[in-house]
Amino acid sequence: MANLTVQQQRAIGELLDASPFAAVARDLGRVFNEAGHELYLVGGTVRDALLGRSSTDADFTTDALPERVQEILARWKPDALWTQGVRFGTVGARKRGVLVEVTTFRSDVYRPESRKPEVTFGRTIADDLARRDFTINAMAVRLPDGAFVDPFGGLEDLSRRRLRTPSTPESSFDDDPLRMLRAARFVAQLGCEPTPETVAAMIDRADRLDIVSRERVRDEFEKLLRSPSPAPGLWLAIRTGLADRFLPELPALAVEQDPMHRHKDVLRHSIAVLERAIGLEDGPPDVTLRLAALLHDIGKPRTRQIGPDGVSFHMHELVGARMASKRLKELRFPNHQVDDVAELIRLHMRFHGYGDEWNDSAVRRYVHAAGPLLERLNKLVRSDCTTRNPVKARRLAASMDDLEDRIRRLAEAEALERRLKPAIDGHEIMRLLGIPPGPLVGRAVEHLRECRLERGPMDPEETCAELLRWAKAEGIAPDDPPEGAPPA
């Protein structure tokens, strides 16, 4: 047991009385108690309550074996019951709109050659809490009476923002290597500082992350990225060698500096761009934008060249887009998200040619190339300005302001997003030119699209006339244009 402050006692009370799942939790605790079994609320739910953070998740653990849990939950008369996770000791249910998962006291262990944990069942709440990742998650509240259980000093660690494992960090990380990446996430998410022993074990066992499935690694990495400030967690992952195991392109950005040909520290720059991009978000965390910001320069180490004018990274955006696509696919990110991140990286240098020579046609092409990624692309471009030169920073910001203003004015004047397509479709092209489906139709569509980008809006009559002029110049104009066709 641990001594709670008045504020912490109030937080636990509110967890059991005022949280969205409070009534269901107490009711469920009563049912397990009447059946002769213990039930505890555990993990992040308890931690977040003590931090004064709201939580909608509710994880329960019990001394009852899975088959017995099914019997007790059935007696509870839930609206739904599912047992897909029963072989891992977990039974789920839904009642009054609240989802609950009840897991038998557990002890998970990874074998050296295994990619999945072997599940064994414990006998006491102390057994279960001992196998938890960190002490701040190894606290529990007994139901229905609300007694607080903290056998490993998690409350003190939480107050000190100290990250420590209930058992030795070596055995903890051997049991589940993903905990090392989770440590980086908690550093970012909660502002914790890992103990020296924890860091040393992470360095020594970083290669153990290789046995964890890519999907689990991706999920943990994404949670890290969603943190309000991912930078401290990323630096820990880099410093301990963890990043080398799942995102080696990131530490590779620490391009060696030389005294003669200086350039930005690309690694520090990339993490700074990520932090700036987060500051431009106006809604929930945008993982696509954050990935693009973090990885936008990963092509630089491969394209670095030293010439008479100094260091250059020619075409690094194209190389980086391919590298990001390959890595994110390997981490099992969704294909559409991989494509969006790669496209943002490929396009992020387009803006740097912006100036007085950009006419309306060039602005339209920029918008057309970005498509639905335009807002994200503009945020990425703004974030990419991390220069310490205030004059240069103001100049770049002013140029971006001007470009966005021109995009808005063009959009208002032309309804740009909806009207970039030619005024006639492929069927009308085939009718006017008397040609069958094939590559020639695609060439005609592309010519009309180019005309639209160059000239602005074109009505159907103008478009048809332009099509016939183009066909005549190409030597494919029909001898007898269809009735109603404008003159070529």
In a domain, 468, yes or no: yes
Compute the distance between CA of residue 381 and CA of residue 401 in angstroms, rounded to an integer: 11
Same domain, 50 and 90: yes
Both 356 and 436 in a single domain?
Answer: no
CA-closest candidate to residue 36, choices 61, 59, 64, 60: 64
Q: For residue 66, give the CATH number of its domain.
A: 3.30.460.10
DSSP labels for 391-414? HHHHHHHHHHHHHHHHHHHHHHHH
Pair 185, 209: CB distance under 8 Å:
no
Tell me the pairing of strands 118-121 and 106-109.
Answer: antiparallel
Residue 330 and residue 469 share a domain: no
Are residues 464 and 439 located together in one domain of the fold? yes
Q: What is the average per-residue pLDDT within 97-104?
A: 90
Reply yes or no on whether the pLDDT at 93 is more than 80: yes
Q: Note whether residue 486 is domain-resident.
A: no
For residue 239, how many other CB atoms are within 10 A of its CB?
14
pLDDT, the chain, mean: 87
Let me know if residue 252 belongs to a domain: no
**Domain's final residue, options 198, 217, 246:** 246
60, part of any domain: yes
When divided into structural domains, the chain yields a total of 4
Q: Is the model's pLDDT at 243 over the cut of 80?
A: yes
Alpha-carbon distances of 434 from 310, 439, 464, rounded to whole Å: 57, 14, 13
Find the DSSP H helices in 226-315. 231-239, 242-246, 266-280, 287-295, 300-303
pLDDT at 395: 83
Whether residue 334 sits in one domain with residue 408: yes
One domain, residues 338 and 368: yes
User: Which CATH number do you get for residue 184?
Assistant: 1.10.110.30
Mapping DSSP to helix (H, G, I), strand (E, B) and coil, where does residue 97 land? Answer: coil
Distances in whole angstroms, Cα of residue 440 to Cα of each of 139, 364, 425? 69, 25, 13
Residue 184 and residue 152 share a domain: no
**Residue 41, amino acid:** L
Q: Is the dihedral of CA 316, 321, 323, 328 positive or negative?
A: positive
What lies within 8 Å, CB to CB, of 172 at 6+ separation is 133, 165, 166, 179, 201
Percent of the chain residues topping a pLDDT of 90: 56
For residue 458, tell me if it sits in a domain: yes
Q: How confident is the model at residue 258 (pLDDT cuts 50, 70, 90)?
A: very low
**The pLDDT of residue 60 is above 80:** yes
Residue 414 to residue 168: CA distance in whole angstroms: 65
- Cα 258 to Cα 305: distance, rounded to the nearest angstrom: 13
Report the percentage of the chain scoring pLDDT > 70.
89
Span 161-179, average pLDDT: 94
pLDDT tens-digit map of 395-420: 888 888 888 888 888 877 766 555 56
Parent domain of 464: 426-474
Q: Is residue 481 part of a domain?
A: no
Residue 133 has pLDDT above 70, yes or no: yes
Question: Bigger pLDDT: 401 or 245?
Answer: 245
Domain closes at, from 246, 276, 311: 246
Confidence of residue 259 (pLDDT cuts 50, 70, 90): very low
Record the tokens describing residue 306, joined without a space: 């030293």
For residues 140 and 194, membership in a common domain is answered with no
| φ and ψ of 287, to 5 deg | -65, -35
Chain segment 330-383, per-residue pLDDT in tens: 999 999 999 999 999 999 998 887 776 788 888 888 998 999 999 999 999 999
What pLDDT band is residue 1 in, cutting at 50, 70 and 90? very low
pLDDT value, residue 416: 54
- For residues 22 and 159, the model is more confident at 159
Q: Is the predicted pLDDT of residue 10 greater than 60, yes or no?
A: yes
**Is residue 61 domain-resident?**
yes
In a domain, 253, yes or no: no
Picking from 197, 216, 246, the residue at the C-terminal end of a domain is: 246
202, 224: one domain: yes
Residues 310 and 439 in one domain: no
Kindly state whether residues 430 and 382 are assigned to the same domain: no
Query: Do 336 and 194 reside in the same domain of the chain?
Result: no
0.85 cut: is pTM over it?
no
Whether the predicted pLDDT of 125 surpasses 90: yes
